[in-house]
Amino acid sequence: MAVVNAAEECKANIPVCVHLDHGETLDYIGKALEMGFTSVMYDGSALPYEESVQNTQQAVYMAQRTGASVEAETGIVP
């Protein structure tokens, strides 16, 4: 929350983005969005591919409601 507050209070001349990197659960993504994060990265790489894709779709739906952007990692690079 401190980072979100700092971004809101910095009075920058440009937009400030607060990004959650490698959120591994939808609950964690949801909490970040509720706190005001403007960008999230859903990391479903440890899950089976189909489950990872389904969760990514849910993360996108959740982020759309707040206007946040989403990055996702749905698999692994061997």
Query: Mean pLDDT for each consecutive 10-residue tract of the chain (78 residues)?
Result: 74 82 97 95 95 97 97 87
Taking CA atoms, 14 is separated from 3, 34, 39, in Å, by: 16, 22, 16
Residue positions annotated with a catalytic role: 21
Amino acid 30: pLDDT: 98
DSSP 14-50: S----EEEEE-SHHHHHHHHHHT-SEEEEE-TTS-HH
pTM metric for this prediction: 0.84
Q: Nearest to residue 21, comparing CAs of 29, 13, 10? A: 29
